[in-house]
Structure 1
């Protein structure tokens, strides 16, 4: 290729991850809707015998959304963004292309085996780390392949500067690599003793130590997948879609380094008032509150990138997705630290308020960012305009209303739970039995189910719009520089 010639990017791997994002997003969210209504109508637990009970389905929902939808979207973003900001193309680097294909297909195999094993009831019984030990080994291979792809691409780059999105991709790779390996260090019992299932293993950590390692991992699965990986994509797609430069590169550096230093120690807030040492609980609580600074630094940087361009909110539903994603990030990263304060945690822990917090982050921040990123990539990868702006607008409002119904019902439900569980009479006896809270919360569980169903309907509209864009939308003569072209 001559110097100065236009690069022809290779989107083949990014397209594969796009398909995985839509497929596992659909599966994970559908199961999530079923789970939501099971809590309101317990008989739904038995629609398929043991395979439909809440405890069997929940790991499928969380793993499908985290590792299927979210990671799929992040990796689609990497294979799209990486070439463009590094000024390379996989057409010229067949080894990196091969690594990318291996990365995708082993990832798909693990997802399928994960679905089968979890449906079969095979699990390590650790939050966000349910996969059995043979699959853990494959997960490490997947992660190494991504590292080879990422650092290999940077090694052959034509662009000297490492754009901030790539800093966050590196953080995601490094953080998860360390955390996942340590939390999944286990001993396969059959191989050691010859007794029990070959799939069974026990953690190398015991008791409170295991709890600390688990939540060192558990919360940082959120930190380095839902947060740093998603920030990586947002830092590219919002400026690119809006045509605006980042508000402040210095603020990105402050937010990045402070987030990396502080977030990794915040997991202790999951074990407040437990048997772990008090200093671990206090450390988790304090660092969680400090997290407001880097989190809001990122969100404010994104919102101020739109300064003077707020009219784009009316003109582009894609900008609405990105701006509201940043807004939900601000909400979630204020609410989480508040819940980590010990006095608040005494009320909030084990209640639905925690569920509300998790889902205003995952549905609003994570979901909207990945959906917007896909909408930005698809016209450029397939050289077609978005099939329908109207469907995008309808999708945005259905999903937004669904999120509001979801988290507001869980706020009310959770605080009600916490107050009823703590209420005592004049003799110090508990005023309410547990079943009393279950009866009171029924309408809020129904509202949560409706909100989740609305979000799922919006996601189905998203899939339809993307498929129609790929197959039936008007072809583009050239790639748009900024705003994504959309049919009416």
Structure 2
């Protein structure tokens, strides 16, 4: 049998998903910038008739970022991390290599169909679950293929101990599988009642039950796509890039099980002050507050991994991205529970504070961690040093500025909205009309658009840096043991 220190890892599938990550990131973020400016300048809704309206583009933005950019990043890092942590190359199993490539190409076909149908306005109208039942079947098939790849690689591993990152990848697979299956249970109307198009369906659940299942899914889609696999990345890439061991392996396990148990029951906080039973709402609020413990356990573990080595923040921009990502994770996971407290939610619900919260996590935590992960992988996959350190430093500050502009403008806009909506005059009548709030928020929507644009500019810089690293930067003879080599 091949010695574990002589294994030639096969990164062909990881490379494919890395490129997909960049392409879908550009598309998803560009659409996001456009719809952000549409909020400030409504005439931008009519650039291409019905196909450029906010309602048509917004699902494309969310799905391109969540299921395009983020999932491609997750899969790229899995096909990299999985082999290295389990000490086995995919090339050793023709079956696993075939399944990996099938996973990628079937996924690309699925994405193409999603783009076409959403542009056409074919949607179930469920948040993060807009796809009609034929596409759902393809998605389930893609997910099963990935699961076969995960457990197949685990089955032929040389390293018997499963590192914590593998735990998180397994949880991602199992969690999303359960959530997606239950929330997307649907009845095809044409085949059951002879009504509508052949692809049309209605949810198997109705009314309040549908809302509860939807937000059990919706909130945990954030858990098992935005959070769990990104923690898998940071537990691998931060120690590898810094050369430091994880601060506490026991804390990583404690945080894992805490996150698995608590996160699943927090979705009810999306339905406060609704027809959902009060005990479900209260449970959602309580579990959201308790969620601070495992979330901060992971984040603190990441930060303490750099104990005594903070000087690397000056010398290594990838460490800078990872540490600020962990900081944004702490930031986002204290803000979410605060918004889930009933008295705060009474002010915050339906306001722009909510997308402010979502985006400081998505842009700061998820985006920065995926960017840093791909750039750590690049020298090891392509045997070339990172093309430009200066470009990476500039990208960091441009994107950080964009994030701060985005979430701060949305905080101010959201709290302003909430206060104006509930303000009353001396007679008990509402003090402001809805259009009054729209007029007041215009400058904040403009700032939000500018923040998103800065982040997109930074992402283009990252994409160029990655491309040049892949094709034109200086070749390296030996794989770096820790800090990634990069040109000045």
Pair in the same fold by TM > 0.5: yes
Instruction: Tell me the residue number matched to 1:357.
Output: 357
Q: Shift of the alpha carbon at 1:132?
A: 1.1
SS at match of 1:475: coil
1:316-346 deviations in whole A, cap 9, x for unaligned?
A: 1111000000000000000000000000000
2:390 alignment partner in structure 1: 390
CA distance in 2, matches of 1:403, 1:248: 30
Please name the residue that 2:473 is paired with: 473
- Note the C-alpha offset of 1:426: 1.5
1:190-218 Cα distance to aligned partner (Å, 9 max, x none)? 11122211121000100000000000000
Does residue 430 (structure 1) correspond to residue 430 (structure 2)? The answer is: yes
Residue 137 of structure 1 corresponds to which residue in structure 2? 137
Q: Deviations over 1:399-426 (max 9, x none)?
A: 0000000000000000000000000011
Residue 74 of structure 2 corresponds to residue 42 of structure 1: no
Within 2, Cα distance between the matches of 1:376 and 1:90? 20
1:107-162 Cα deviation digits (max 9, x unpaired): 11111110110000000100000011100000100110011000110011000100
Find the aligned partners of 2:58 and 2:136 in 1 and give their Cα distance: 19
Secondary structure of 1:484 counterpart: coil
CA–CA distance in 1 between the matches of 2:323 and 2:251?
Answer: 18
1:375 corresponding residue in structure 2: 375
**Residues 358 and 4 of structure 1: CA distance in aligned 2, closer, same or farther (over 3 Å):** closer
| Aligned match of 2:441 | 441
Once the two structures are superposed, the pairs formed by residues 85-484 of structure 1 within 5 Å of their partners are: 85-484=85-484
Name the SS of the counterpart of 2:125 in structure 1.
coil
Aligned residues: 488
- Whole-angstrom CA distance in 2 between matches of 1:211 and 1:232: 30
Q: Deviations over 1:220-250 (max 9, x none)?
A: 0000000001111111000100000000001
Give how far 1:2 is off.
3.9
What SS class does the counterpart of residue 289 from structure 1 fall into? helix
Shift of 1:5: 5.1
Measured in 1, the distance between the counterparts of 2:484 and 2:137 equals 40
Query: 2:28 & 2:84 partners in 1: Cα distance?
Result: 30
CA shift in 2, pair 1:114/1:4, >3 Å? closer
Q: What's the secondary structure of 2:228's corresponding residue?
A: helix
- 2: CA distance, partners of 1:191 / 1:474: 59
Q: Secondary structure at the match of 2:260?
A: helix
Aligned to 2:3: 3
Q: Does the CA-based 8 Å contact 2:292-2:333 persist in structure 1? A: yes
**In structure 2, do the counterparts of structure 1 residues 335 and 4 end up closer, same or farther at CA, with 3 Å as the change threshold?**
closer
Aligned mates of 1:107, 1:290 — CA distance in 2: 36
Distance 1:61 1:131 in 2: 14
Q: Distance in 1 between matches of 2:113 and 2:394?
A: 35
Q: Is the contact made by 1:122 and 1:199 (CA closer than 8 Å) also made in structure 2? A: no
Aligned position for 2:28: 28
Q: 2:344, 2:304 → 1: CA distance?
A: 32
Matched with 1:13 is 13
Tell me how far apart the structure 2 counterparts of residues 63 and 380 of structure 1 sit (CA, whole Å).
30
Q: Is residue 269–residue 284 contact of structure 1 (8 Å, CA) maintained in 2? A: yes
> Could you list the runs of 4 or more consecutive aligned residues of structure 1 that deviate by over 3 angstroms after TM superposition?
1-5
Q: Deviations over 1:367-422 (max 9, x none)?
A: 00000000000110000000000000010000000000000000000000000000
Residues 4 and 158 of structure 2 are in contact (CA less than 8 Å); yes or no, is this contact kept in structure 1?
no
Q: Deviations for 1:167-190, whole angstroms, at most 9, x for unmatched residues? A: 000111111101100000001101
TM-score by length of 1: 0.99
Partner of 1:70: 70
Q: In the aligned structure 2, how far is the partner of 1:196 from the partner of 1:94?
A: 44
Could you give the per-residue CA deviations for residues 245-294 of structure 1, whole angstroms, max 9, x where no partner exists?
Answer: 00000100110000000000000000000001001100000000000000
| Structure 2 Cα separation of the partners of residues 18 and 261 of structure 1 | 31
Query: In structure 2, how many angstroms separate the alpha carbons of the residues matched to 1:182 and 1:320?
Result: 39
Q: CA deviation at 1:3?
A: 3.3
CA displacement 1:85-105 (0-9 Å, x = unmatched) = 000001111111111011111
State the alpha-carbon separation in 2 of the partners of residues 188 and 424 from structure 1: 47
Do the aligned partners of 1:31 and 1:57 also contact (CA within 8 Å) in 2? yes
- 2:248 and 2:384 map into 1 onto residues whose CA distance is 33
SS of the equivalent of 1:474 reads coil
Structure 1 segments unaligned to the other structure (5+ residues): none
1:418-464 Cα shifts (integer Å, max 9, x gaps): 00000001111100000000000000000000000000000000000
